[in-house]
Amino acid sequence: TEPDEARKQAMELGMRDAVGEIQAAIDYLKGQDVVNGRFGIVGFCMGGGLVLQTAVHSSDIHAAVPFYGSPLSAGEAAQVTAPILSFLGSRDGISASSYEAMHAALTEAGVANKFNLYDGAQHAFFNDTRASYDEAAALDAWQQTLDWFEMYL
């Protein structure tokens, strides 16, 4: 799919439908011999928001890592059971305070969580095809992601 067509299709995809697709993939994987029964999920930008919404709506998620996705409300965060590791750049259009509030709500709900704010990093700091790429932040975030999954999966 061409990038413009992929963006168009992504914008047409409703959050509820997307979370349903992710749950369908998890349900399929549950029946596979190569899966240990513990599921982690990672996503970037819109995918980061999908990670968080899936963590709200699926008890099958055991670790979640959103990169600069739309943060959860306090009410949504109270429904999460999976440990959440979040990444955001200080120069992202998403406010750090909204992530801090989400993580405070996760803590209040007793959910293991960690929030990383990279000073000077922009939205999509992990995407090495964009001018916003921040190699130091991306490398650190990826290592933390691997460590998080190792710990919880």
Task: Per-residue pLDDT tens, the chain, 153 aa: give them.
Answer: 577 776 677 667 788 999 999 999 999 999 999 999 999 999 999 999 999 999 999 999 999 999 999 999 999 999 999 999 999 999 999 999 999 999 999 999 999 999 999 999 999 999 999 999 999 999 999 999 999 999 999
Domain boundaries, the chain: 3-152
What is the architecture, at CATH level 2, of domain 3-152? 3-Layer(aba) Sandwich (3.40)
- Six token digits for residue 93: 């259009």
Predicted confidence at residue 67, as pLDDT, reads 99
Predicted confidence at residue 1, as pLDDT, reads 55
Q: The pTM is what?
A: 0.92
Asked if 137 and 125 count as a contact pair (C-beta separation under 8 A), the reply is yes
Q: How far apart are CA 102 and CA 14, in angstroms?
A: 22
Predicted confidence at residue 57, as pLDDT, reads 97
β-partners of residue 42 are: 65
Q: How far apart are CA 132 and CA 11, in angstroms?
A: 22
